[in-house]
Structure 1
């Protein structure tokens, strides 16, 4: 068995945040040097943290939104997995993981666009943000995560 296949998946959460116009939030990662990739808020689950707690914390850290600005609607039925491409193995997360296993949440944005504050957490993760048609999500994310975004979209589409 190769070393990569023996590595575990990093426990993670993500939030598909939609507004009243049925558009999804995406942010442009501040650390992306190649490509024009946009993603939904996501991040690791801390020790002892429940996935829903982690989702709200990550949403706050990456967007500045407080829990009063969102209403959770659903969670994916199963965790979604992705593997890192070979060129990123050993470079991310201290080389401890082969990819991520993610719990995704669908949330309705109940605030105003002025409630977003990308600089609320230091260091910031996003340098820009926008609302997009959810059908665009798999084309906006870095290609190795596109299958996960398609699965999220397929599961949440009826609820958006």
Structure 2
């Protein structure tokens, strides 16, 4: 078995898509029975620009077109996550230890009816809008730190989190 520490990270792009109310699009993956949600993301093809990959993945996963979004911000650094040990060697044909991602914050200027997760290669079985502060609690545990990092990168562009009750 390959030592996971010697495997590279898969280059990916991620999209935090916010609506006019400041809520974030999340989808529930088709290939998982978990109640976990995630934002659109996917691999960057060789020679592809990260922003172009983000827009392509957004379209492939949600049906949202480039004309329906406007770029608000790009995370200043790549963000990483590692797969749990039990998934290394089982996903992505065993070629990667996790992902290194470029994240983009886009405003969705379309209507909810423009979102269509029944695409040519569907990835989600359901979708919804959620408050940004709820993101880390809704993802699979191994992506929680990644989502906290995404929120930190875009904090200046998102509505303030509601204050917890005392």
- Once residues 155 and 102 of structure 1 are traced to their aligned partners in structure 2, the CA distance between those partners, rounded to angstroms, is 13
Residue in 2 that maps onto 1:157: 155
- Scaled by the length of structure 2, the TM-score of the pair is 0.93
SS in 2 for 1:88: coil
Residue in 1 that maps onto 2:119: 120
May I ask how many residue pairs the two structures share in their alignment?
Answer: 157
Residue in 2 that maps onto 1:21: 21
Residue in 2 that maps onto 1:95: 94
| Unmatched runs of 5 consecutive residues or more in structure 2 | 159-166
- Once residues 119 and 25 of structure 1 are traced to their aligned partners in structure 2, the CA distance between those partners, rounded to angstroms, is 15
Residue in 2 that maps onto 1:62: 61
1:64–1:120 CA contact under 8 A, matched in 2: yes
Residue in 2 that maps onto 1:32: 32
| Unmatched runs of 5 consecutive residues or more in structure 1 | none
- Scaled by the length of structure 1, the TM-score of the pair is 0.96
Structure 1 moving runs of 4+ over 3 Å: none
